[in-house]
Amino acid sequence: MAVTMNDVARAAGVSLKTVSNVLNDYEFIRPATKQRVQDAIAELGYEANLTARSLRSGKSKMLGLVLSDLSAPYYAELASRLMKAASRRGYRVLVEQSDAVADVELNALQGPFRQLTDGLLFTPLMIDADAIAARLGRKPLVLLGEHILDSRFDLVTMKNEEAAAALTARLLSGGRRRIAVIGAHSGESAGSAGLRLNGYRKALDQAGVPFDPALVAPCQWRRDNGAAAVAGLLEGGVEFDAVFGLNDALALGALHELLIRGVRVPREVAVAGFDDIDEARFASPSLTTVAPGMEEIAERSIGLLVDRIEGRETSGGGVQVEAGFLLQVRESAP
Amino acid sequence: MAVTMNDVARAAGVSLKTVSNVLNDYEFIRPATKQRVQDAIAELGYEANLTARSLRSGKSKMLGLVLSDLSAPYYAELASRLMKAASRRGYRVLVEQSDAVADVELNALQGPFRQLTDGLLFTPLMIDADAIAARLGRKPLVLLGEHILDSRFDLVTMKNEEAAAALTARLLSGGRRRIAVIGAHSGESAGSAGLRLNGYRKALDQAGVPFDPALVAPCQWRRDNGAAAVAGLLEGGVEFDAVFGLNDALALGALHELLIRGVRVPREVAVAGFDDIDEARFASPSLTTVAPGMEEIAERSIGLLVDRIEGRETSGGGVQVEAGFLLQVRESAP
DNA sequence: CTGAAAGCGCTTACAG
DNA sequence: CTGAAAGCGCTTACAG
């Protein structure tokens, strides 16, 4: 049905191998031969069968990306950039949504998803380092955005703790003393939530402000969780003069709930988030947040993964990359 | 290296074909044989090589999704739902971002991307029906979200025109007479922008309100475009008492710009959008918009595409599905 | 109900 | 610089 390499070889009067050589940019081909093959390819409209190539070569030119939910704005923006960075290097990205379910994360590490891809970009939420190590296999794996302190793994992350501390310090220096934190994850074995909470506590310590567990609201990381958390604090009679949402979606949900209830932001309560998603700039009031170097994260993680796959990065232990961050001070916490 | 079907066959003392039969749920296998094969599979930890299966069967169990930009919130939410709907049916989704570039759209229809997938979900932005028809091929194609009036294609869309008219009518009945429209696309050959603009004009006609081209701002569909469009109108001295963003991102950008400039919403200017992305609910003021039945669109489009692939849908012409819509009236345009 | 053989379309040693 | 052959791991007719 479709045109095959055999058809091209016949049309060009050469063998299969020669066609293959031309397709794979083998150096030593006589120019005239190469031209004949290229003409035949153009004339017949030949396109390489990628599945056959994969089967034989063992490389699919696809990368796997495991994250909890593509509709979360941070992941949507990150995935978009990762796909572009991969595309520049000749790779496609296949996305798997884990919904923060441990079994899905485990299966992504060793099941068909792994098999289809040459390497994995993985955001572990529910499983720990040992679970990952037990399923490493021989294909490259780069951990993303989380901070598993384990030199066995390649890791591209952000300065979760320092950035959260810097943001908290900023709130403190603005005179806030009772800073509610929403989005803590007590059940999470490896994640940004814990690190960001650490940063918050360190900044409090530094300023000599006592830590009050009543100000910590555990919840998931969506807008509605943020709104509900703030509602819970207000209805529980907890007093606070600032809210630190551990990501922007939470902070934006919190902001919404505060405004609905007539709480003035930032006059009565300041609000800050983490991620600097595009939405943060356009909120009203615009959201103070941490810009975690998303482009750098995308570029470095794809670069590292592809370098591993193609053998340019061969260090034995894990390569650890930490992207820089920037405080984006806006209206919600000036 | 990896365990193959041959290893399983040997371990179970049967032929390759028998293992294949078990894997593919062939009915007529002696229970004892089946059990022996399953035991061998479990013992050896065998996993089918999907690439080999694809090469031989011609099916990859992957669907292609072509859209302009995964970081746009509407597409992010839609893609997430599409992937879940596909997953329920045993398919994965491979995403291609076109960035609204015609060449990318054309290549997605016939290049390697098409080859890797069993069927395509396609949002044409820059190319027209004839360009698509010329590249149809034999694999199923379902057009998504756009309204190419051509009975050759399967199409899952929304009531763009009616919904835009209903929203405009609502603004008119609230006493608004100078409704700015932002996000018109004059260069787009097939798209929602034109239909939504039509709906707007029909509602104006219906109400006997004259159409003023000065109120129409052409721009792309991101938040920053919405903000810039409103800034342009205000600085151009165009008077208006409402803004209809042709999607939510635009409307939210416009809302932001209005508030920055001290324009009261909705008192002085009402704002409405289209899409009902999650963000719309949490904006301040919350955004009045059209909910275009996203879950229905995701479910029906994946269902139709998979039915075509698996031969359950065999109608010659295109199947046309139009999802229902709902007006979400919120604070920005009560 | 099960087996032996062919073949999907490539790449990869191996020769020459 | 190029060719002939083998084989990646499956599924698919074809027999029996």
Q: Which of A50, A54, A115 sits opposite B47 (nearest CB)?
A: A115
- Alpha carbons B99 and B109: distance in angstroms, whole number: 15
What tokens were used for A36? 């004949």
CA neighbor of B95 nearest in space, from B77, B68, B74:
B68
* Whether B127 and B23 share a structural domain: no
Q: Per-residue pLDDT for B135 more than 80? A: yes
Q: Which residues contact A235 (CB under 8 A, 6 or more apart)?
A: none
Q: Name the average pLDDT for chain B.
A: 92
Confidence of residue B186 (pLDDT cuts 50, 70, 90): confident
Residue A334 included in any domain: no
CB-CB neighbors (< 8 A) of B251 in chain A: none
Q: What is the DSSP letter of A215?
A: G
Task: Decide if B329 contacts B276 (C-beta within 8 A).
Answer: no
Our count of domains for chain A comes to: 3
Do residues B272 and B199 touch, judged by C-beta distance below 8 A? no
pLDDT digits (tens, 9 = 90+) for B283-328: 999 999 999 999 999 999 999 999 999 989 888 878 999 999 999 9
Q: Is the pLDDT of residue B41 over 90?
A: no
Protein residue nearest nucleotide C3, by CA to C1':
B15
For residue A225, count other CB atoms closer than 10 A to its CB: 21
- Over residues A177-225, the pLDDT tens digits come to 999 999 998 766 567 898 999 999 999 999 999 999 999 999 999 999 9
Residue A150 domain boundaries: 61-158+294-323
pLDDT for A77-106, tens place per residue? 999 999 999 999 999 999 999 998 999 999
B170 plus B287 within the same structural domain:
yes
- Asked whether residue A40 falls in the same domain as residue A154, the answer is no
Q: Which amino acid belongs to residue A331?
A: E
Whether B314 contacts chain A with CB within 8 A: no
Dihedral over Cα of A192, A274, A159, A132: its sign: positive
Residues pairing with B106 in the sheet: none
In this prediction, residue B188 has a pLDDT band, given cuts at 50, 70 and 90, of: low
Q: Are residues A84 and A149 in the same domain?
A: yes
In chain B, residues with a C-beta closer than 8 Å to the C-beta of A256 are 281-284, 286
Read off the pLDDT of each residue in A231-259 and give the average, rounded to a whole number.
Answer: 97
Residue B66 CA, chain-centre distance (Å), reads 9
> Which residues 37-66 of A have a C-beta within 8 angstroms of B?
47-52, 54-55, 60
Residue A141 CA to residue A321 CA, distance in Å, equals: 14
Bridge partners of residue B63, in order along the sequence: B93, B119
Indicate whether A126 and A24 sit together in one domain.
no
Could you tell me which chain A residue has the CA closest to the CA of B260?
Answer: A284
Place of tokens 């061969």: A314
Q: Is residue A54 assigned to a domain? A: no
Kindly state whether residue B53 falls inside one of the protein's structural domains: no
Give residues with Cβ within 8 angstroms of A245, minimum separation 6: A182, A183, A226, A251, A252, A253, A254, A271, A272, A273, A274
Distance of CA A204 to the CA centre of its chain: 28
Nucleotide nearest to A15 (CA to C1'): D3
| Mutation for testing the B interface, residue in A80, A261, A282, A332 having most B CBs under 10 Å | A282
Proportion of chain B above pLDDT 70, given as a percent: 97
Instruction: Kindly list the strands in the beta sheet with A119-122, ordered across the sheet, starting from the edge strand earlier in the chain.
Output: A320-323, A154-158, A141-144, A119-122, A62-67, A92-97, B92-97, B62-67, B119-122, B141-144, B154-158, B320-323
Q: Do A252 and A303 reside in the same domain of the chain?
A: no
Residue A103, classed as helix, strand or coil, is helix
Closest to A189 measured CA to CA, from A128, A146, A129, A124: A128
C-alpha distances in Å from residue A245, one per residue of A187, A252, B21, B59:
18, 8, 54, 45
For residue A277, tell me if it sits in a domain.
yes
Residue B40 pLDDT: 86
| Of the candidates A42, A40, A62, the residue with the CA atom closest to the CA atom of residue A51 | A62
Grouping H, G, I as helix, E, B as strand and the rest as coil, residue B15 is coil
Q: Average pLDDT for residues B51-70, to the nearest whole number?
A: 93
Q: Is the CB of A15 under 7 A from strand D?
A: yes
pLDDT of B1 above 60 = no
Beta strands, E only, chain A: 62-67, 92-97, 119-122, 141-144, 154-158, 179-184, 216-218, 242-245, 270-272, 289-291, 320-323, 326-328
| A133 falls within a domain | yes
Rounded to an integer, the average pLDDT of A144-160 is: 84
Q: Classify burial at A137, counting beta carbons within 10 Å of its beta carbon; exposed 0-12, middle 13-18, buried 19 or more.
A: exposed
Query: Encoding tokens for residue B7?
Result: 């290893």
In this structure, which amino acid lies at residue A287? L
CB contact A103 to B (< 8 Å): no
The answer to whether position A127 is within a domain reads: yes
Cβ separation A281–B81 shorter than 8 A: no
CATH code, domain with A316 = 3.40.50.2300
Report whether pLDDT(A44) > 90: no
Chain B residues with CB-CB distance to A70 below 8 A: 70, 76, 79-80, 83
**So what's the pLDDT on residue B31?**
79
Do residues B199 and B153 lie in contact, with contact meaning Cβ atoms separated by under 8 Å? no
pLDDT at A110: 87
Contacts of A225 (CB under 8 A, 6+ apart): A182, A183, A219, A250, A253
| Cα A103 from chain centre | 19
Residue B36 CA distance to nucleotide D7 C1' (Å): 28
Indicate whether A125 and A177 sit together in one domain: no
Residue A9: which nucleotide is closest by CA–C1'? D3
> What is the spatial distance between Cα B279 and Cα B248, in angstroms, rounded to a whole number?
9
Our measurement of CA B44 to C1' C2, in angstroms, reads 22
- A203 with A120, same domain? no
Report which of B114, B321, B264, B243 is spatially closest to residue A50, judged by C-alpha positions: B114
pLDDT exceeds cutoff 90 at A290: yes
A137 contacts chain B (CB < 8 A) = no
pLDDT at A231 over 90: yes
Output the pLDDT for position A1.
56
Residue A13: give its domain's CATH number: 1.10.260.40
Percentage of the residues of chain A whose pLDDT score is greater than 70: 97
| Tokens 């093959």, residue located | A37
Please state the separation of Cα B162 from the chain's center in Å: 19
Residues B11 and B34 both lie in one domain = yes
Mutate to test the interface with A, among B70, B78, B94 (most CBs of A within 10 A): B70
Both B14 and B105 in one domain: the answer is: no
Nearest CB to A256: which of B94, B115, B282? B282
Residue A299, SS3 per DSSP? helix
Percent of chain A whose pLDDT exceeds 90: 71
A117 and A225 share one domain: no
Mode of pairing for the β-strands spanning A119-122 and A141-144? parallel
Asked whether the predicted pLDDT for residue A148 surpasses 80, the reply is no
Whether residue B245 has pLDDT greater than 80: yes
A130 and A217 together in one domain: no
Confidence band of B75 (pLDDT split at 50, 70, 90): very high
What 3-state class would DSSP assign to A194? helix
For A:195-224, CB contacts with B below 8 A are 222-224
When scoring B62, B68, B71, B78 by the number of chain A Cβ atoms within 10 A, the one with the most, hence best to mutate, is: B71
Judge whether B333 lies within some domain: no
Q: Residue B256: pLDDT band by 50, 70, 90 thresholds?
A: very high
| Mean local confidence (pLDDT), B257-276 | 97
Average pLDDT, chain A: 92
Comparing CB atoms, the residue among B51, B93, B96 nearest residue A55 is B51
Q: Which of B330, B220, B218 is nearest to B272 (CA)?
A: B330
Q: Which pLDDT score, from 0 to 100, does residue B6 have?
A: 83
pLDDT tens-digit series, residues B276-289: 999 999 999 999 99
Q: Give the per-residue pLDDT at B190.
A: 62
All residues of chain A having their beta carbon less than 8 Å from the beta carbon of residue B90 are none
**Is B334 a member of any domain?**
no
